[in-house]
Structure 1
Amino acid sequence: MNQDILFADLQTWDSDRQAVNFPAQQGGALIHCWVSLAWLEKKCGQALVDEAAVLSAFAQCRFDLEDIAETMIEDEEFNQAGDIEIN
């Protein structure tokens, strides 16, 4: 794992966006990383019907998600807002 990119042990569900936000830090800059509900449901193979289920699914996939986000950050695959989106 790249030690220049750090992930905090934080995650929040955004119901408007239908995605979980998990922050990363690179060189002191905060990077908002997002994973969509659809991605989590596909990975888990089931519908996630409430915030607790979504966050539980996120926790199960956390290491994979951090690896994906790390690669996207290194490859500078940011959206227009400067965020990383895993869809």
Structure 2
Amino acid sequence: MSSLASKAGCICTPGPSRPKACVHSGVCFDEVDERCSAQTCICCNRRTGPKCREGLGIREWACGECGAYHHRNINAAVNLLAAGCRRLAE
């Protein structure tokens, strides 16, 4: 991790050593719940995406509520970023 990123803080997947490393370097650490992040529409915030194990093979989907078209990984990344930003704003 670059020194700029480590000073600013970052949102990462949890690991056993991350909280200790963050406290040691003076960086804020908080876990963000990633459940349903790929299923929740980034436009209307409704859970209309593919569900369960069968849904894992579906890479792109359209929201049944607002009609927005999503790629599963990009949609999940945007939802996780938004959740992290909301958490930091608290």
> What TM bracket, shorter-length normalisation?
0.3 to 0.5
Structure with greater helix share of residues: 2
Structure exhibiting the larger radius of gyration computed from Cα positions? 2
Q: Which has the higher contact order (CA 8 A, sep 6+)?
A: 1
TM-score normalized with structure 1 length = 0.38
